[in-house]
A and B are shown apart, each in its own frame.
Chain A
Amino acid sequence: MLSSNPATTGLFLLIVAGAIGITVAAARSTKSTSDFLAAGGRITPFQNGLALAGDFMSAGAFLGLSALIFSSGFDGFIYAIGYIASWPIVMFLVADPLRNLGRYTMADALSYRFDERKIRPLIAVISLVLVVCYLIAQMVGAGQVIQLMFGLSYAAAVVLVGALMIFCVMIGGMIATTWVQMVKAVLLLFTGVLIAFLTWRAFGYDFSALVEKAISVHPKRSAILASQMLPKDPLSGISLGLALVFGTAGLPHILIRFFTVKDGKDARLSAVWATGFIGFFFLLLFPIGYGAIALIFNDPAYHQANGALLGGANTVSIHLSHAVGGDFLMAFVCAVAFATIIAVVAGLTLTGASTIAHDLLRTTDPVSEGNSTRGLFTTRAVTLILGTIATLLALAFQDQNVAYLLGLSFSIAASANFPILMLALYWPRLTTIGVIAGGCTGLVLSVTMTVLGPAVWVKVFGFGAPVVSLDPPTLVTMPVTFLACYFGSVLDSSRSGTQERARFAEQYSRSIA
């Protein structure tokens, strides 16, 4: 356990009580399927921007990126730069047309001109694979981090996160999830500013002194000032760049947030706010990351006898908060990390539930969609089932290396969802057959190449060399998906294909309304 002072327990209980309070308050406003899945479209752009930032700034971004900077230097910023550059792409190409064409999920926008009986199940399967991969990675990480921070057993930590997540989503739906995300985003931004300021102050407000100290204590010396990963394997580096910059535009838990505002203009404004908040947070990683190297790399108080960092690599930010702010700031950071975990897993669970209830069950049970009470009951039941399955999977994956699941999620999002969405929004000749060809190709190829790549074949299965050296495989999978969509569409001479092409002009007019 990293911190045993009473403040840790107190703040931890305060976060749990806050999440329950928000959920109970939100439950009063959740009366229909629209309230449950899209907060009735009543969220303002500023609020949605905060919630989008909250969704995106997961524990991986907060704890993982600072850990990567601590161990490898500038390579951590390569991820941060890729993540932030993805947001303008979401805004320029996706936010407003998606909102103008859809109601609850990405499949709505595609159903505007394509055959929804075929499109919805396909998009639902891709989205569910993405959500489940992301959710397992977050839940396993959550169990390990909470175990370290608060001294709970792994099983207790996972069950606690699972129970709180199911409660928030089942009772409060999108309204509760949005408010939990907003509170968490504010807490995370405040924490980031505070740690960065205190770190800066520790070096007499001189950033150069901070970087000089970091260079002097890190074994890689001045190599921490530039990327070491990209020169070693440029193709994998470019492939990673593609996955990062286009992946966000295909992540279902990000896309559904655009349906919580009233129109396309508000969706665009949401993305402006989100980019601002996320970009500001990532800029703070410069003093936090290099400050952590400077202040704790050689401090024996934060290391075990064998030299490993106390509590593991992902605790860098927590140790830095202790170094610059003492026990109370460390307890506060642990509580914020816990809030971050709860908010992100709640957002993912809601996305999975909306995909199943709205896209999958709608095709087999259209009555649910028309009847608000029954639709709401179905969605809540799906939330309970999905949340329980995610919790059980997180327990089963306790001793597994699941780091590849986040990379796989981004790879699938960039290789399957993004090409389909782009071509559906902007290419008149795309047809249902093209969408199916592209979606199946992107999903199967991403999963296959990731399994055969270094992240799974070597690190999980233990083989000596990977069958596919590209990691992630997006440099191959994304262009192949575009080609599959292209050939599937141009070779489609069916009558329905002709009708779908004819509907593009109407769809485009509506998408920019």
Chain B
Amino acid sequence: MDDRRWRLRVIYSGILLAVYFAFFLMCAYLPERMAAHVSSNSPTSVAMWLGAAIIAGSIAMTGLYTVSADRS
């Protein structure tokens, strides 16, 4: 299993899971920083923006993976 498809699976899953669990750990152990406002003139929090980024990033990763997998 040293083919390119396998490497793609491992790399993409690894990145996604690392970001996802880092987010969970930050929510669990750094609650004040996650609840902090993202800027002085916006009431939205760091957690909200990171959460939205993970959702958008998940969509983008599936698109990127399928392009890469089609080439492999």
Mark A residues whose CB is within 8 Å of B: 74, 77-78, 80-82, 84-85, 87-89, 91-93, 96, 207-208, 211-212, 215, 222-223, 225-228, 230-231, 234, 237-238, 241, 245, 265, 268-269, 271-272, 275-276, 279-280, 282-283, 286, 426, 508, 512
Contacts and interface: CB of A to CB of B under 8 A. Distances in A.
A272 B34 CA distance: 30
Given A223-B35, A237-B27, 4 more contacts: A225-B44, A226-B35, A276-B59, A279-B56
B59 A85 contact: no
B45 to A, nearest CB: 4
B16 A85 contact: yes
Interface of B: 1, 3, 5-6, 8-9, 12-13, 16-17, 20-21, 23-25, 27-29, 31, 34-35, 37, 41-48, 51-52, 54-56, 58-59, 61-63, 65-66, 69-70
A465 B50 CA distance: 35
Contacts of A212: 43
B62 A227 contact: no
Given A225-B35, A241-B21, A272 B27 contact: no
Say what secondary structure dominates the interface of chain A.
Answer: helix
Nearest to A216: B43
B27 A230 contact: yes
A81 B16 contact: no
B44 A234 contact: no
Given A226-B45, A276-B62, A282 B13 contact: no
Contacts of B61: 88
Given A89-B16, A241-B21, A208 B55 contact: no
Contacts of B48: 74, 77, 225, 286
Contacts of B13: 88-89, 92-93
A215 B43 contact: yes
Contacts of A231: 27-29, 31
Contact of A226 (B1, B25, B31, B42): B31
A227 B31 contact: yes
B31 A238 contact: no
Most buried by B among A226, A241, A268: A226
B38 to A, nearest CB: 10
A266 to B, nearest CB: 11
Contacts of A81: 20, 23, 51, 54-55
Contact of B17 (A91, A226, A245, A268): A245
B58 A279 contact: yes
A88 B65 CA distance: 9
Contacts of B20: 81-82, 85, 241, 245
4 cross-chain pairs, A with B, having the tightest CB-CB distances, nearest first: A226-B35, A225-B45, A234-B28, A230-B28
Contacts of A268: 66, 69
A78 B24 CA distance: 8
Contacts of A512: 3, 5
Contacts of B28: 227, 230-231, 234, 237-238
Contact of B58 (A77, A85, A508): A85
Given A234-B29, A275-B62, A222 B24 contact: no
A237 B34 CA distance: 15
B58 A208 contact: no
B27 to A, nearest CB: 4
A231 B6 CA distance: 36
Contacts of B12: 88, 92
A92 B35 contact: no
B16 A272 contact: no
Nearest to A77: B51
A96 B5 CA distance: 11
Contacts of A283: 52, 55-56
B55 A80 contact: yes
Nearest to A271: B62
A91 B70 CA distance: 13
A225 B27 CA distance: 11
Contact of A207 (B17, B27, B44): B44
A249 to B, nearest CB: 11
Contacts of A80: 51, 55
A77 B45 CA distance: 13
B53 to A, nearest CB: 10
Given A74-B47, A92-B12, A237-B27, A275 B58 contact: yes
Nearest to B50: A81
Most buried by B among A92, A271, A276: A92
Nearest to A90: B62
B10 to A, nearest CB: 9
Contacts of A227: 27-28, 31, 34, 47
A215 B43 CA distance: 9
Contacts of B8: 92
A84 B9 CA distance: 18
A230 B24 contact: yes
Contacts of A241: 20-21, 24
Contacts of A207: 44
Most buried by A among B9, B34, B46: B9
B29 to A, nearest CB: 7
A276 B58 CA distance: 9
9 contacts: A78-B27, A88-B65, A92-B12, A93-B13, A226-B27, A231-B27, A234-B29, A275-B59, A286-B52
